[in-house]
Amino acid sequence: TWKDSEVANMKKETTITWYKDGMEIMEDEKHDFKDGVCTLLITEITRKDAAFDDLMNAVCKQIAESATQVKIMSNEEGIRLYSFVNYFVDDLKLSWVHNDGKIKYTDRVKSGVTGEMMWLQINEPTPNDKGKYVLEMFDGKTTHTKDVDLSGQAYDEAYAEFQRLKQAAIAERNRARVIGGLPDVVTIQEGKALNLTCNIWGDPVPEVTWLKNERELIGDDHCILKFESGKYASFTITTVATSDSGKYCIRAKNKYGTETNDFTVSVFNPEGEEAEEEAQPDSKKK
């Protein structure tokens, strides 16, 4: 860090001495003088140089005293214990204690701070994780604590909610989906070929059904329906007729959910006369 000071009436024999708190600074600090400006380079700022300790102790104490009671929250990965403070600085040292023993963090049990939230994440909790938890906050002089009891009904309810959220997350990740590729409306000339494709996703692989005017379509030489590699669905009408106009839908379904995608086919003859569509209610995604 450089500290600059302007000096007037300088002569060749002028010497420069810097002082800190009434004491001369050691000569090993680097000085520079040019164009009436004297510069001091402080190569390393220490906590003592910055009068930092007392200030940060006071700040950390205020932060620790603002901490809320530790609460319990479930998520799809496990159980999270957490406390909020008004604001957070890294100088406030945190540790967590379980049944009077300091916790050793692993991939399963992790500690962290997100914004003003101090938390302990317990992934895939087991009965061995039951007990009293204490959040310790050391301000540099004093240890402040907040605790919570994760046992009995508190553990049972948190574990049940974790399992519910876990299953919901699995279902959301793996539910059947129809992904892109299909237009909302297809207007096509009579006698042409129509080919539409889309991607299907889901685990297990979904069952795929095509519908016209809410009735299931059965593939034949005129209307070819394919579902290949558990991913690619295609709908082909080899020679479009006016009777092919209507409301169509593809439906993908597995044990985690069902999704549909609707489209309308409107066929017109070469003279430009559009065929009338059969009036049917739109299908909706579930």
Indicate whether 111 pLDDT > 90. yes
Cross-strand pairs, 149: 132
Helix/strand/coil (H/E/C) assignment for every residue in 13-44: CCCCCCEECCEECCCCCEEEEECCEEEEECCC
User: How is residue 178 written in tokens?
Assistant: 């129809």
Look at the chain and count its residues: 286
Instruction: Using pLDDT thresholds of 50, 70 and 90, give the confidence band for residue 7.
Output: low
**What single string gives the DSSP state of each residue in the chain?**
-EEEEE--S--TT-----EETTEEPPTTSEEEEETTEEEEE-S---TTTTTHHHHHHHHHHHHHHTPPPPEEEEETTEEEEEEE-S---TTSEEEEEETTEEPPP-SSEEEEEETTEEEEEEES--GGG-EEEEEEEE-SS-EEEEEEEE-HHHHHHHHHHHHHHHHHHHHHHHS-EEES---SEEEEETT--EEEEEEEE-SSPPEEEEEETTEE----SSEEEEEETTTEEEEEESS--GGG-EEEEEEEEETTEEEEEEEEEEEE-TTS-BPPPP--PPP---
Which is higher by pLDDT, 48 or 3? 48
User: Quick one: average pLDDT of 203-211?
Assistant: 96
Average pLDDT, the chain: 86
pLDDT at residue 10, rounded to an integer: 61
- Angstrom distance (rounded) from CA 232 to CA 222: 20
Which is higher by pLDDT, 20 or 197? 197
Q: What is the dihedral of CA 162, 165, 168, 173, to 10 degrees?
A: -100
User: Quick one: average pLDDT of 86-106?
Assistant: 95
pLDDT at residue 26, rounded to an integer: 57
CB 249 within 8 A of CB 262: yes
Q: Mind listing the domains of the chain with CATH numbers?
A: 2-41 (no CATH), 53-174 (2.60.40.10), 177-268 (2.60.40.10)
- Angstrom distance (rounded) from CA 48 to CA 141: 16
- Angstrom distance (rounded) from CA 101 to CA 133: 9
Instruction: Using pLDDT thresholds of 50, 70 and 90, give the confidence band for residue 21.
Output: low
Indicate whether 40 pLDDT > 80. no
Q: Helix, strand or coil for residue 146? A: strand
- Write the pLDDT tens digit of every residue in 266-286: 999 876 554 444 434 444 444
- Write the pLDDT tens digit of every residue in 224-271: 999 999 999 999 999 999 999 999 999 999 999 999 999 999 999 876
Write out the H or E segment, with its range, that includes residue 95.
Answer: strand 93-98
- Write the pLDDT tens digit of every residue in 179-195: 987 999 999 999 999 99
pLDDT at residue 15, rounded to an integer: 73
